[in-house]
Chains A and B, each alone.
Chain A
Amino acid sequence: MKNSNLNMLVRASIVSNKILSCFFCFFVMLSTVLIMLSVNIIIPLSDNIQTKIINHITNREIYDTYRGKTDEQTIKNDIKKIKKLDHVEDIYLMPYSLTVSETSGVYFSQHMLDCFHNGYEPTITAGRNFKKGDDKVALVPQIMKDFNESENQINEIDGKSLIGKTLKFSDENQNKIKVKVIGAYRTVDPLFSGDEIIIPRTALIDYNNRVKNNSDIPSSVSEEKEYKILVDDAKNVERVLNEASEITYVSKANPVVDASSYSVAMMILLAISVLFTVMVILGIYMFLKNNISSRIDEIALYRSFGYKSKNIFYVLFTEHLIFGLISIIAGLIITQLLCTFIINGYVYSLVGNSLMEMSVNVTLIPSLGFIAVFVLILILISRKSVKISEKTDLTILLRS
Chain B
Amino acid sequence: MNKAIELKNITKIYNHRVTALDNVSLTVNSGEFIVVMGQSGSGKSTLLQIAGLLDKSTSGTVLINGRDVSKLDKNQLAEVRKNSLGFVFQAFHLNSHLRLYENVMVPMLINEKYKKKSDMQKKAMELIEKVGLTHRVSHYPSELSGGEQQRVAIARALANDPDFILADEPTGNLDSKNELMIFEELKKLSKSGKGLLVVCHNDAVLDFADKVYIMKDGVLEEKNDEKQQS
Shortest distance between the CB of B201 and any CB in chain A (Å): 14
Once A5-B117, A390-B74 are accepted as A-B contacts, the answer to whether A298 and B95 lie under 8 Å apart by CB is yes
* A307 interface residue per 8 A CB criterion: yes
Instruction: Judge whether B87 and A304 touch: CB under 8 Å.
Output: yes
Instruction: Judge whether A9 and B109 touch: CB under 8 Å.
Output: yes
Instruction: Judge whether B82 and A306 touch: CB under 8 Å.
Output: yes
Q: A9 to B98, alpha carbons, bound, how many Å?
A: 8
Instruction: Judge whether B81 and A398 touch: CB under 8 Å.
Output: no
Using a CB–CB cutoff of 8 Å, the interface residues on chain B facing chain A are 45, 48-49, 52, 54-55, 74-75, 78-83, 87, 89-91, 93, 95-98, 102, 105-107, 109-112, 117, 120, 159-160, 168
* A150 interface residue per 8 A CB criterion: no
Once A1-B110, A397-B54 are accepted as A-B contacts, the answer to whether A305 and B82 lie under 8 Å apart by CB is yes
Q: A9 to B160, alpha carbons, bound, how many Å?
A: 17
Q: A395 to B216, alpha carbons, bound, how many Å?
A: 20
Q: A1-36 vs B: 1/0 string, CB under 8 Å?
A: 100011011011101100000000000000000000
**B residues less than 8 Å from A73 (CB atoms):** none
Closest 8 CB pairs of A and B: A306-B82, A394-B54, A305-B107, A12-B97, A306-B81, A5-B109, A306-B78, A1-B112
Shortest distance between the CB of A20 and any CB in chain B (Å): 14
Say whether chain A's binding surface is mostly helix, strand, loop, or mixed: helix
Q: A297 to B96, alpha carbons, bound, how many Å?
A: 13
Q: A303 to B54, alpha carbons, bound, how many Å?
A: 9
Give the interface size bracket for A toward B.
20 to 34
**A residues less than 8 Å from B54 (CB atoms):** 304, 394-395, 397-398
Shortest distance between the CB of A370 and any CB in chain B (Å): 31
Once A306-B83, A398-B168 are accepted as A-B contacts, the answer to whether A1 and B98 lie under 8 Å apart by CB is no
- Can you list 22 pairs linking A and B with CB atoms under 8 Å apart? A1-B109, A5-B110, A11-B97, A297-B93, A298-B95, A302-B106, A305-B81, A305-B82, A305-B160, A306-B79, A306-B81, A390-B74, A394-B49, A394-B55, A395-B45, A397-B54, A397-B89, A398-B45, A398-B54, A398-B89, A398-B90, A400-B91
Closest B residue, CB atoms, query A305: B107
